Amino acid sequence: MKRDPSPEALRTSLRLFRVTRTFTGIRDEQKLILILNALQRFSRNGISSPVKNVTSLAEQFRADFGRYNLSAASKLLWLTFRSPYIIYDARAVAALKLLKPGFKNKDYAEYYAAWKTAFTEHESAVMRAAQRVPKLHPFFVTWRETQASLTPISKQRWFLERIFDNYLWELGDG
Same domain flag for 95 and 158? yes
pLDDT of residue 43: 67
Same domain flag for 74 and 112? no
User: Which of 22, 47, 81 is at the close of a domain?
Assistant: 81
What are the mean pLDDT values of the chain's consecutive 10-residue runs (174 residues total)? 74 80 78 86 72 92 91 91 92 95 93 97 96 86 80 93 95 90
CA angle 166, 3, 91 (to 5 degrees): 20
Q: Is residue 139 part of a domain?
A: yes
Same domain flag for 65 and 120? no
What's the structural domain count of the chain? Answer: 2
Same domain flag for 96 and 156? yes
Task: Give the separation between CA 10 and CA 32, rounded to whole angstroms.
Answer: 7
pLDDT of residue 35: 87
How far is the CA of 115 from the CAs of 125, 165, 166, in angstroms?
A: 15, 9, 12
Same domain flag for 75 and 102? no
pLDDT of residue 40: 82
pLDDT of residue 30: 84
Where in the sequence is the domain holding 63, given as residue range(s)? 7-81
Same domain flag for 48 and 66? yes
| Spatial contact of 10 and 29, defined as CB atoms under 8 Å apart | no
pTM: 0.86
pLDDT of residue 95: 97
pLDDT of residue 143: 72
Same domain flag for 72 and 137? no
